[in-house]
Amino acid sequence: MSALKFGWLTPVIGNKWSDYVPIAQYQDTEILPTALPHFDSLWVADHFYGFDAKTDPFLEAWTTLTWLAARHPNVELCHHVLGHGYRPPALTAKMAATLQVLSGNRFVLGIGAGWREDEYAAYGYEFPRPGVRFAQLEEVITICRLMWTEDEPSFAGKHFRIDGASAPPRPTVPPRICVGASGEKVGLPMVGRLADMWNGRFIGAEDWTRKLGIVHAAAEQAGRDPASIEISSTVEKSLPETDAESEQLLESLAKRADFGVQHFVLDFGHPQSLEPIHRFVEQVMAPLKSR
CB 24 within 8 A of CB 268: no
Q: Taking 60 as the threshold, does the pLDDT of residue 215 lie above it? A: yes
**Domain made up of 5-289: CATH architecture:** Alpha-Beta Barrel (3.20)
Kindly report, residue by residue over 170-180, the tens digit of the pLDDT: 999 999 999 99
Evaluated on CA atoms 216, 219, 221, 223, the torsion sign reads: negative
The continuous run of DSSP H or E covering 185 comes out as: none
Cβ count within 10 A of residue 228: 10
Beta bridge partners of 225: none
For helices 130-149 and 187-194, the axis angle rounded to 10 degrees is 10
C-alpha distances in angstroms, 287 versus 177, 230, 237, 240, 250? Answer: 29, 21, 18, 15, 8
Residue 62 has what pLDDT?
98
Alpha helices in 87-129, H assignment, sequence order: 89-102, 117-122
Which is nearest to 7 in space by CA: 231, 290, 255? 231
Which is nearest to 139 in space by CA: 98, 189, 93? 93
Which is nearest to 169 in space by CA: 228, 94, 86? 94
Residue spans of the domains in the chain: they are: 5-289
Mean pLDDT of the chain: 97
Mean pLDDT for 72-94 is 98
Residue 284 has what pLDDT?
98
Q: How confident is the model at residue 211 (pLDDT cuts 50, 70, 90)?
A: very high
Residue 128 has what pLDDT?
97
User: What percentage of the chain exceeds 70 in pLDDT?
Assistant: 99
Distance of CA 198 to the CA centre of its chain: 9
The continuous run of DSSP H or E covering 219 comes out as: helix 205-221
Q: How confident is the model at residue 291 (pLDDT cuts 50, 70, 90)?
A: confident
Cβ-count burial 127-151 (b if 16+ within 10 Å, e if not): beeeeebbbbbbbbbbbbbbbbeee
Q: How confident is the model at residue 113 (pLDDT cuts 50, 70, 90)?
A: very high
Cα separation, 219 vs 191, whole angstroms? 8
Cα separation, 117 vs 216, whole angstroms? 30
pTM (2 decimals)?
Answer: 0.96
Name the E strands within the chain: 5-9, 41-45, 76-80, 82-83, 107-112, 154-156, 161-163, 176-180, 197-200, 230-236, 263-267
Kindly report, residue by residue over 70-81, the tens digit of the pLDDT: 999 999 999 999
Distance of CA 191 to the CA centre of its chain: 14
CB 61 within 8 A of CB 28: no
Sequence letter at residue 80 = H
